[in-house]
Amino acid sequence: MNSLLKEICAMLKEENTDASLGIKTEIEKFILVQKTIDFEESPNSALKEEIVSLIEKSDHNLAEVLILAQKKLKWRKTTIPATLISDEISNLFYVCPIMGVDTVIPSKKFRLGFLFQKPNSYYPLHSHSAAETYFIIAGELDWSDGNKTRKLVAGDKINHSSLLPHSFETKSAGFLGLWHWSGDISAENYKILE
Stretch that binds Fe ion, among 81-89, 93-101, 132-140, 182-190 (CB under 5 A): 132-140
160: enclosing H helix or E strand: strand 157-160
Residue 162: other Cβ atoms inside 10 A: 15
Residue among 2, 194, 178 nearest 97 (CA): 178
Considering the complex, what minimum distance in angstroms separates the CB of residue 61 from Fe ion? Answer: 23
Length reported for the chain: 194
Considering the complex, what minimum distance in angstroms separates the CB of residue 34 from Fe ion? Answer: 28
Stretch that binds Fe ion, among 22-30, 38-46, 69-77, 127-135 (CB under 5 A): 127-135
Whether the Cβ atoms of residue 187 and residue 128 lie closer than 8 Å to each other: yes
Q: Looking at beta carbons only, is 30 or 123 nearer to Fe ion?
A: 123
Stretch that binds Fe ion, among 3-11, 25-33, 40-48, 124-132 (CB under 5 A): 124-132
Considering the complex, what minimum distance in angstroms separates the CB of residue 130 from Fe ion? Answer: 8
Decide if residue 7 touches Fe ion (CB under 5 A).
no
Question: Which alpha helices (DSSP H) does the chain contain, by range?
Answer: 2-15, 18-34, 45-56, 61-69, 87-90
- x/- map, 80-119, Fe ion, by CB under 5 A: ----------------------------------------
Residue among 9, 7, 96 nearest 52 (CA): 96
Whether the Cβ atoms of residue 120 and residue 110 lie closer than 8 Å to each other: no
Considering the complex, what minimum distance in angstroms separates the CB of residue 83 from Fe ion? Answer: 18
Taking the C-alpha atoms of residue 2 and residue 141, their distance in angstroms, rounded to an integer, is: 29
Considering the complex, what minimum distance in angstroms separates the CB of residue 160 from Fe ion? Answer: 8
The end-to-end CA distance of the chain, in Å, is: 38
Stretch that binds Fe ion, among 9-17, 41-49, 117-125, 129-137 (CB under 5 A): 129-137
Decide if residue 132 touches Fe ion (CB under 5 A).
yes
**What are the residues binding Fe ion (CB under 5 A)?**
132
